[in-house]
Structure 1
């Protein structure tokens, strides 16, 4: 049965194992070619027509860099948990790679704080309540929505989807999350509808329905738009129309290479367990930054030279790791 406590326990074990691992055992050093390996990761990567199991960049240097980033974010979360209780906190989660990384580390830190250190004020033993929110401002890809729904239930989140461009009466929309993907899950999905189609109004709608929430974890990095000058904790710009809450920015210093190395390490480590950690399949198809259907394309820099026009192939997002080209998946709305 998937619930937040079990998910947090698993995430804690994976994070601790990763932090204790030796950089000499990097992903690239595991196996340079496929050979006859029947490992599920090998089978998955083989379908992508890759020359080696992992890219050469997944080496000891990147392994250590990702460890440093995970440890920094993990300690930042522990610091945050000393100032905010779980009812006051929420995490912004859209199923994208950055949000996934911070969710896993957040859950690991919660388990350390509540269960290992015996802090916090959970009402029942061995229970964890995790608020989460996503304000929908785009017409998302079906694959992203299905992964979002699946992972919300897998991690046992108390999740609120706020729709800014869909009418409250339009429950037949394919964009509406149902929360019925796994009846054994303890995850919960609530749908709200914003009166105006803006991101600030979407968050205001969420906060009005969740009055205990005072701080929201946001997966922004310094390489993202508007991320260069942010701090770990920073209040919203109320003078620009935002509702008043504290933004928690735990992965500011991460690079896309760190993000993908950690995700692929988690996938490799968990794939044969009862809690397999996965990511949205669009990233395997050459999308590097996910927005809406009308402003997101496969990254042109990932187009493979060895593919023909009729069967165009792209490297997966995690194969070529460069912050400068990451957002080339985003284009002006209506140009797709």
Structure 2
């Protein structure tokens, strides 16, 4: 059963005044013009987001955001598309200098479906993103279907009470979701997919449906992207995108604290068929170097099919996956490696 809505706690020690800007949006569209795999993926995703905005308008769209890597990509793309619609001449010209207009994002209707026993790091990151991207955030506890129903019903009720005069708030007709094909139930989805019978009635929009795990991290760690760039290029100004810090500690898929652990293939001390990089991969957006807490960062996962390998019921089960089997005389350890 979904519980009543309550706000996400804001981290008490957070002092970050950044907000998504026109310069940030222009950098996304500049990346989309690149002749590269990532450029093509960004172009396709932006096209889907823009089609949704054209069809429904921001007042009838909501973003599903839970602080994970996929929806972190999605919120940055959505923010860029919204500012482009407001300032096309400033963003579309690749030869223009960084825009310095003070235009800001309008509030973006957003639902955060809070899982049981969420990580405090996720809660803090969601709260920060609400400020960075102007998210009109409402948190609902419960299963996805129940939570979405609560959110949609609340919007309808709010609209009815205001007699349609509330302004930009309206009935939700589409929800943008960061689902990818290798996610559970993602195989047969399309970029625009109506909800199934028994669910709240709206269009599910999947802008990054055909992105890979590597594409997600390529975007988040892209050197040219920024968050809170005012276009002035001040010395020492923080650059680069953000993500939940759990990804720095070997987590590759986030859920509840009851069933989410670092990915066993990123255990820094593991031996086996997954080779350890000869030198740490440094992040241009975050100063991550040597293994943190004995785990390598999420973007170093080589086997993308093992993205959810840390989703277990206990840490011992995760660690068991990294313990090599003793080799036998007959196999010399080959069979043990194949079972990993």
1:245-267 Cα shifts (integer Å, max 9, x gaps): 11111111000101001101158
**Candidates 243, 246, 266, aligned match of 1:282:** 246
Matched, 1:163 2:141: yes
Distance 1:273 1:155 in 2: 18
Match of 2:55, SS state, is coil
Deviation at 1:143, TM superposition (A): 0.9
Alignment of 1:88-167 (within 5 A): 88-116=60-88, 128-164=106-142
- Post-superposition CA distance 1:111-134 (Å, at most 9, x none): 11232179xxxxxx8662311111
Give the equivalent residue in structure 2 for 1:215: 174
Partner of 2:308: 327
How many angstroms apart in 2 are the aligned matches of 1:267 and 1:293? 34
Task: Provide structure 2 residue ranges, at least 5 long, that are not aligned to the other structure.
Answer: 1-15, 91-102, 157-170, 230-235, 272-291, 319-340
Q: Which residue does 1:206 correspond to in 2?
A: 151
Q: Distance in 2 between matches of 1:107 and 1:89?
A: 13
Alignment partner, residue 263 of structure 2: 299
Question: For residues 211-264 of structure 1, what are the alpha-carbon distances to aligned partners after superposition, in whole Å with 9 as ceiling and x for unaligned?
Answer: 2211100110001110000011111112xx311111111111000101001101
From 15, 32, 36, the counterpart of 1:19: 32
- Shift in Å, 1:17: 3.2
1:39-50 aligned at under 5 Å gives the runs none
Looking at structure 2, the residues matched to 151 and 127 of structure 1 have their Cα atoms a distance apart, in angstroms, of 13
Q: CA deviation at 1:323?
A: 2.2
For residues 211 and 258 of structure 2, the distance between their equivalents in structure 1, rounded to whole angstroms, comes to 27
> Counterparts of 2:63 and 2:302 in 1: how far apart (Å)?
26
| Distance change >3 Å, CA 158–CA 221, structure 1 → 2 | same
Instruction: Please provide the CA RMSD for this pair.
Output: 2.8
* Distance in 1 of aligned mates of 2:245 and 2:192: 32
Q: 2: distance between equivalents of 1:77 and 1:153?
A: 21
State how far apart, in whole Å, the 2-side matches of 1:126 and 1:269 are. Answer: 15
Match of 1:318 among 299, 311, 316: 299
CA spacing shift, 1:224–1:246, aligned 2, 3 Å: same
Paired residues in the alignment total 249
Equivalents in 1 of 2:270, 2:57: separation in Å?
Answer: 52
In structure 2, the CA distance between the partners of 1:306 and 1:206, relative to structure 1 (3 Å rule), is closer
CA drift at 1:274: 6.0
Partner-residue secondary structure (3-state), 2:259:
coil
Deviation at 1:137, TM superposition (A): 2.7
1:253 to 210, 231, 236: 210
Q: Does 1:70 align with 2:42?
A: yes
- TM-score normalised over the length of structure 1: 0.67
Using the alignment, how far apart are the partners of 1:326 and 1:103 within structure 2? 21
Q: Could you say which residue in structure 2 is the equivalent of 1:188?
A: none
Distance 2:221 2:105 in 1: 28
| Whole-angstrom CA distance in 2 between matches of 1:70 and 1:327 | 24
Contact (CA 8 Å) 1:256, 1:321: kept in 2 or not?
Answer: no
Pairwise CA distance, 1:277: 2.4
TM-score, scaled to structure 2? 0.66
2-structure distance, mates of 1:97, 1:327: 13
**Structure number, greater radius of gyration:** 2
Closer, same or farther in 2 for the Cα pair 1:305/1:274, shift >3 Å? closer
